[in-house]
Amino acid sequence: MAFKALRRGARAVANAVLDPVAELGRSGLKALAGLGRAHLLLLHILAGSAEVLWRPRLLLAQVFNVGVLSVLIVAVSGLFVGMVLALQGFYVLSQFGAEESLGVMVAASLVRELGPVVTALLVAGRAGSALTAEIGLMKATEQLAGLEMMAVDPVRRILTPRFYGGLIAMPLLVALFSAVGVLGGYFVGVGLLGVDDGAFWSQMQSKVDFREDVVNGVIKGLVFGVVVTWIALFQGHDSTPTSAGVSRATTRAVVHAALAVLALDFVLTALMFGN
Amino acid sequence: MTAVTVGSGPAPVSGALTDQAPGACAADAAESECLVRIRGLRFSHGPRVIFDDVDLDIRRGSVTAVMGPSGTGKTTLLKLISGQLRPDAGTIEVDGEPVHALRQSALFELRRRMGMLFQSGALLTDLSVFDNVAYPLREHLRLSPPVVRKLVLLKLEAVGLRGARDLMPNELSGGMARRVALARAIALDPMMILYDEPFTGQDPISMGVLVSLIRQLNDASRLTSIVVSHDVRETASIADYIYVISNGRVMAAGTPATIAAERSEWVRQFMDGLPDGPVHFHYPAPDLAADLLTRGVG
Ligand SMILES: Nc1ncnc2c1ncn2[C@@H]1O[C@H](COP(=O)(O)OP(=O)(O)O)[C@@H](O)[C@H]1O
Ligand SMILES: [Mg+2]
């Protein structure tokens, strides 16, 4: 009797230890399978690249969807971020009597980091979530299956143009964000805080390098464009075709895209500006 | 004519395929006669077995009904025939081509000759009625806009919705959406149309419209139609041949007259819509008292 109880206790302890391990293994496998599906989907999307050139109108519509429709939110955010940068930067720089370098500080922070990262986060929230919901609903309402029954590959016809739309729009939005941000910094720094106009621009011009800073920033934008759009499209395409499934997929798309952008930013920064 | 014998429990029909009634192919029928030939079909969704060794034929030019309770796999059967799903075992031949083994390009080639009417209609929601019907034409044929326009209007006329061409899908009633989807399905003049529950959720008038439309289209355009449904009376009224499936098996097969004369309790219960019989009202469960007395939260 006592032996039996002991054995039951031992099994309970073993289960308490092993169950989480098994659960960890299961979710690990699930994540890996998802990653595999995401890569297969990316290959499928890329396989349709040639058709995008054939149907420029589809592509244009998506550049409009992701790009033009995000212009306002990106520009306004850029303006405020630039203005805050000038305020904060002025406070620090004035302690060293280096207010003249405000232009460099604002422009470099924007072009190197804040422009690409904040734009990517904004696009993930504005356009990425919309893409996921659109694709997920098309799947739930059998529109994708309907296309397939018309002998039209829905990945190539629906997903590929959206992918390239994001890819093209993102670097442009990044450039817009940085440019408007610099203007915001100028208004606050020169207009409000009395930094010398000529010093603001000339220091910026001499210290911010085109190849090193601007091009690298645009490359970041391009990479983030791929990642954000890819994640959004995958989540939509992989969603459970129910209302709850699509809503979960939309949340996941934004969260995963944000995390991926921040993590990738670290990697890219280390590679680009590391030494 | 072989008598179809089905026991009271779920037992498959063995003699059905030798039935020479119009609508069924003979076991050795020529390819020209038999458009779809399914042999030894097995399919499961995960652990759930949907089809377990099913044989099924669709004769060219016929309207064949596949009936069965909800959740037996009628939609799944259409997806298998159109190659959206692959069987675990068995063969599915459509027009002599093995659907289950085709590569995507060959499958797409075959699908141009098939139309499918989805349960939901599956219209592209950001395109107008006109553009939805024009979609397959623009995708697959290089036609000038005036020709596309003429074709689209003819197809819409066939389903009685020429006047609705400028509406968006969200402005259509359920019955209209299904008819637009039908116009789109026949846009490329297919050899076969698969209908998934065409009558569900329709008011009596649009139901009647759809019923006669399916028959008319089939006979006027020399189509082959497969109608999947659980609306027994409407479907039986236009079918040349009926398969009743349940529990992964073909429970009965024959002309509407044969099925109506069918004596097996199960088929009677299904065809007459009786609440209880061999199929029980309750999903299998442990004894209620025992269930209530069990402690736990599950
Ligand atoms: N994608 C899927 N994954 C798992 N099970 C499914 C899936 N699709 C359908 N099923 C199950 O297969 C069975 C048959 O589905 P379906 O073919 O839609 O039935 P019907 O059209 O006859 O009502 C249902 O019980 C359903 O729960
Ligand atoms: Mg169904």
The pLDDT tens digits for B61-86 are 899 999 888 888 899 999 999 999 99
Domain with A106, as residue range(s), is 48-273
Tens of pLDDT, residues B116-165: 998 877 899 989 999 999 999 998 888 899 999 999 999 999 888 888 88
What is the DSSP-derived secondary structure letter of residue A157? I
Task: Check pLDDT > 80 for residue A275.
Answer: no
B108:A151 CB<8 A = yes
B chain contacts of residue A133, beta-carbon cutoff 8 Å: none
Residue A30 within a domain: no
pLDDT of residue A70: 92
Angle at B99 between CA B98 and CA B102, to 5 degrees: 85
Strands B63-67, B241-246: pairing is parallel
Residue A35 within a domain: no
List, chain by chain if needed, residues with CB within 6 Å of any ligand 1 atom: B 45-46, 50, 70-76
Three-state secondary structure call for residue B72: coil
Kindly state the average pLDDT of the residues A99-103.
Answer: 88
Task: Check pLDDT > 60 for residue B21.
Answer: no
A150:B82 CB<8 A = no
B chain contacts of residue A57, beta-carbon cutoff 8 Å: none
Kindly state the average pLDDT of the residues A70-86.
Answer: 95
Question: Exposed, middle or buried, B153 (CB in 10 Å: 0-12/13-18/19+)?
Answer: middle
Interface test with A, best of B97, B102, B125, B138 (most A CBs within 10 A): B125
Residue A27 within a domain: no
Give Cβ neighbours of residue B74 (< 8 Å, ≥ 6 apart). Answer: B66, B67, B68, B196, B197, B228, B229, B230, B245
Which two structure tokens, joined as six digits, stand for B206?
């649009």
Q: How far apart are CA B228 and CA A264, in angstroms?
A: 50
> Pick from A146, A72, A93: which is nearest to B121 by CA?
A146
Three-state secondary structure call for residue B46: coil
B108:A146 CB<8 A = no
> Pick from A141, A43, A155, A55: which is nearest to B139 by CA?
A55
Give Cβ neighbours of residue A108 (< 8 Å, ≥ 6 apart). Answer: A207, A208, A213
Three-state secondary structure call for residue B63: strand
Three-state secondary structure call for residue B263: coil
| φ and ψ at residue B41, rounded to 5 degrees | -70, 125
Q: Chain A residues contacting B, CB < 8 Å?
A: 141-143, 145-153
Task: Check pLDDT > 90 for residue B175.
Answer: no
Residue A15 within a domain: no
Neighbouring residues of the ion ligand 2, judged by CB less than 5 Å = B 75
The nearest alpha carbon in chain B to A140 belongs to: B122
Tens of pLDDT, residues A158-192: 999 999 999 999 999 999 999 999 999 999 999 99
Task: Check pLDDT > 90 for residue B252.
Answer: no
Residue A36 within a domain: no
Q: How far apart are CA B264 and CA A47, in angstroms?
A: 54
pLDDT of residue B17: 41
Q: How far apart are CA A230 and CA A234, in angstroms?
A: 6
| φ and ψ at residue B83, rounded to 5 degrees | 80, 15
Task: Point out the residue among A142, A146, A150 whose CB comes nearest to the CB of B139.
Answer: A150
pLDDT of residue A1: 63
How many residues are there in chain A? 275
B chain contacts of residue A153, beta-carbon cutoff 8 Å: 104, 108
pLDDT of residue B176: 86
Interface test with A, best of B80, B97, B108, B119 (most A CBs within 10 A): B108
Tens of pLDDT, residues B84-122: 999 999 999 998 889 988 888 899 999 999 989 988 778
pLDDT of residue B220: 86
- In percent, how much of chain A has pLDDT > 70? 99
Query: How many domains would you assign to chain A?
Result: 1
The nearest alpha carbon in chain A to B190 belongs to: A150
Which H, E and C letters describe A174-215, residue by residue?
A: HHHHHHHHHHHHHHHHHHHCCCCHHHHHHHHHHHCCHHHHHH
Which two structure tokens, joined as six digits, stand for A148?
């397939």
pLDDT of residue B278: 63
Distance B169 CA to ligand 1 centre (A): 26
Residue A164 within a domain: yes
Q: Are B193 and B178 in contact (CB under 8 A)?
A: no
A chain contacts of residue B133, beta-carbon cutoff 8 Å: none
User: Does any CB of chain A come closer than 8 Å to the CB of residue B104?
Assistant: yes
pLDDT of residue B28: 55
Three-state secondary structure call for residue B143: coil
pLDDT of residue B15: 41
Q: Are B83 and B98 in contact (CB under 8 A)?
A: no
A151:B120 CB<8 A = no
**What type of residue is B262?**
E
How many residues are there in chain B? 298
